[in-house]
Every structure is written in structure tokens, then in C-alpha cells.
Amino acid sequence: MSRRGRSSCACWRGSRPDRKESRCSERAGRRVGDYRVIDGLDGLEEAADRLRAGTGPVAVDVERASGFRYSQRAYLVQVFRRDAGVFLFDPPPIEDFTSLQDAIGEVEWILHAASQDLPSLRELGLEPPSMFDTELAARLLGHERVGLGAVVEDALGITLAKAHSASDWSTRPLPQDWLEYAALDVLHLVDVRDVLVEELAEQGKSAFAREEFQAVLDRAPKPAREDPWRRLSGLHTVRGRRSLAVARALWTAREEYAREQDVAPGRLVPDRSLVAAVLADPPSKQALAGLKEFTGRASRSQIDRWWAAIEAGRAAKDLPPERASGGDSLPPPRAWADRNPAADARLKAARPQVEQRAEALSMPTENLLTPELLRRVAWQPPADLTAFSIGEALIALGARAWQVEQTAQVIAQAFVDSVQSTSGAPESAS
């Protein structure tokens, strides 16, 4: 079963150069057209056939219900391919996306901020063989704005309304204007990709981009956070290990119920309400129910659940420490001067050099080399401060080859300079 609709966009010219004005009128006119909503296996097969027969790479996007649902599952998958059109897939009734993967699983996929969408796509069995990330490309090119609407506007001179980016995409049926918004998210991505490919080549960054895109595809999921309950907003006001045990129990009870109901935890009982309950230390379930700061749509309907959690926290034997264990995290840089003066000197010498190199390449420093990697190699550098050894250390920490090529020498020289400034001994960074 499928529905048809019409997508539309606005073409903004303002003070755009003539080249982008003509690009806007040409591509806006060529691309605006029908989209189809696919909400069943029959429609999926037909859509897969049409996409298979299309030409060039495919643009893919995902809409979730973040802030509304517990899960990060996809509630809409948008796909566009030239000579095929735009298709909006409704995942819940479809479930099995094998035919779509078979149809587009051998061509390049174009995504915007791919790291956000890949987990939801993989949950559906959708995996790109290779990809082009328009947001990441824009960052490497030094664009000041890298949101989807801004990148489309900068590349094509077309403005997109972003009215529904924070909507509850689990809503059914989806309103027509939401569907039009979703269609536009992929309608221009192929054209944007073509423009960014040209810009990357002009700036000599094509190889950089390929490495970055592959790194995003290869990146393993983040391990589960240790003591995730410590992320409760306002937990810093809670004192005492017993009170922390109560906070942990309340957080866990809310998390379990949120997962069961597939509702964002904060929509059941906000963080501030859980912390208020801990601080109030109510003597009874009735006192908890009477606590005006304890709000949220499940605060009273699930009062037995919350009271049981408070009692469990009060009775817990494994009291959490006052402070979370540091794990393998480094101390904050402000503490380095006291705790590791040599590392502090290395970091202070290398950081401006890396920033200067990023400026010369016209890209954000964090895209040239993440601050965490620089901090780690400054905290514990290799024995010999050469560009080769620094590069090996950076690779081991997860840096890409192009990043090492651009930064290892300047970091090594900065480290050597820091040693000379504190000891006066000559060193070499060769």
C-alpha cells in the first residue's frame, strides 16, 4: 500500500553568485516531484525494483522519535535515487528490508551526519557498502554552517524549511506536511554531494574525506557507559552514599519502565523530580505522593514503583562511591600543571600548533585531530619524540593516516620545544 504526494521547496537567491543562482533554478526545477510512502511489503518490492533501476548513488535519511521514545529505532526511512524518485518507508509495518538492501546495497549511499543514522539503519538490516557524508564533507571544507538546511543552501542556493526536525515521528498517520519535509531531506542530497565532491577536489581534500567516511562506517559502537545513572541532571546536589544509592535505584526503575513502555525516560518522570525525591527523603509512600516537586505523567500512576525503588536504595549493601571512578579518563587539563607538569608543557606547546595547522587547512581543529587524542599523546608520549613515533601513537589511539600526516611533525616539534624550554637540552623531532 502506498500513498503519493508532492514535495516542494523554496529557491532563495539573495546575493548568491550567478553560478549558484543558475544551479538553484536548474536543479530545483528538475528535482521537485512525486514521492511515495511505502507502508507494506508489496509496496517495498515495487520500490526496490525502481530504485535498483535508478542511476548513481542513493540519498538516505532517517527520522526517529528522540525525546519521545526510549528506543532510537527508525520511524521513517527516506531514499532518493535519480531516475527512480523519492520513497518514504514506514519501518514498523514493513519490518523486513532485505529487498531494499539488495536493491541499493552495492552503490554509494549519501547521508548527512551519518553517525547519527547508521545505528538505526543497521537495526533494520540496512548497511551502506560505502558512503558520502555531506555534513562531514562540509566540516572538512571549512563551511561555517553544517546543518542539512545550511549545506543545501550553500551548495545549491535552495532553502529548506526545518519545521519538523524535533517532531514525534512515531505519530501515525504522519501529517502530509511532515511527509513533504521528510521527502525534501533527501531530494537534493545527490546534487549537494556532487557540489561537495568538486569542492573537495579543488581543496585537495578528497583523500581526507574518503578516510573519514570509511572511519565512520568502521567505527565500533560505544561501550556501555559505566554508572549511567550518574548522568542524572542535578545529581551534584545529592550528598552521601546512601542517598546516591537511592538515586541509582530510582534511575534504574525509571529506565526499566521507560524501556518497557518505549517512552523517553524524562517524559515519565523528569530528572529534577527524581533528585527532588532523593533530597526530600520522604518517610512514606504517601509523603512521596504529596511531594509537589515530584512531577511527571507517571509520577503518581506508578507511585508503588518509585516507592519500591526508594526502599531498595535505602536497603542496598553495595553503596556507590561519592565520586565516579575515573576509568581510563585523563584529569582535566587545568589540573595538569600540578599533577604532570611535563605533560602540561607538551599540551600547551602543541595545541596552538595544531590549531594553526587546522586554520591553514580551513577546517575545524577537532576534525583535523580530536582534542582527546592530542591530550592522550601529550599525557603519555612515546619515549622518543619523533614524528614517526608520535604518528604511531596517534594511529594506535584511532587517528586516521591523513591526520597523522598533517599533525605528527608539528606535534613532535612542539613536544621537543617544550622539553627545551624546561631543560635547555637540545632535542630533535626528525
Determine the topology of domain 33-218 in CATH.
Answer: Nucleotidyltransferase; domain 5 (3.30.420)
Report which of 290, 367, 297, 379 is spatially closest to residue 332, judged by C-alpha positions: 379
- Distance from chain centroid for Cα 7: 27
Q: Does domain 228-315 have CATH number 2.40.50.70?
A: no
The CA distance from 346 to 327, in Å, is 23
The CA distance from 180 to 196, in Å, is 25
Tens digit of pLDDT for each residue in 316-361?
A: 999 999 988 766 789 999 999 999 999 999 999 999 999 999 999 9
Q: Which part of the chain is CATH 1.10.150.80?
A: 228-315, 333-423
Q: What DSSP letter does each residue of 330-360 carry, written as one string?
A: PPPGGGHHHH-HHHHHHHHHHHHHHHHHHHH
Query: Rounded to 5 degrees, what are φ and ψ at 380?
Result: -135, 80
Ranges of residues in the chain whose predicted pLDDT is under 70: 1-33, 326-327, 422-430
**8 Å CB contact between 232 and 251:** yes
Q: Where are the alpha helices (DSSP H) in 221-328?
A: 241-261, 265-268, 271-280, 285-289, 303-315
Half-sphere exposure of 212 (CA within 13 A, CB side): 26
Q: Where are the alpha helices (DSSP H) in 108-188?
A: 114-123, 134-140, 148-156, 176-187
Amino acid letter, 9: C
What was the pLDDT predicted at 165?
Answer: 75
- Pairing of β 76-82 and β 55-63: antiparallel
What was the pLDDT predicted at 4?
Answer: 56
**8 Å CB contact between 240 and 299:** no
The CA distance from 304 to 67, in Å, is 25
What was the pLDDT predicted at 83?
Answer: 97
- Please state which architecture CATH assigns to domain 333-423: Orthogonal Bundle (1.10)
What was the pLDDT predicted at 351?
Answer: 98
Indicate the SS3 state at residue 323.
Answer: coil
What was the pLDDT predicted at 34?
Answer: 84
What was the pLDDT predicted at 398?
Answer: 95
**8 Å CB contact between 110 and 57:** yes
Q: Which part of the chain is CATH 3.30.420.10?
A: 33-218
How many helices (H) and strands (E) are present in the chain, helices listed first? Answer: 21, 9
**8 Å CB contact between 159 and 153:** yes
What was the pLDDT predicted at 29?
Answer: 37
What was the pLDDT predicted at 184?
Answer: 94
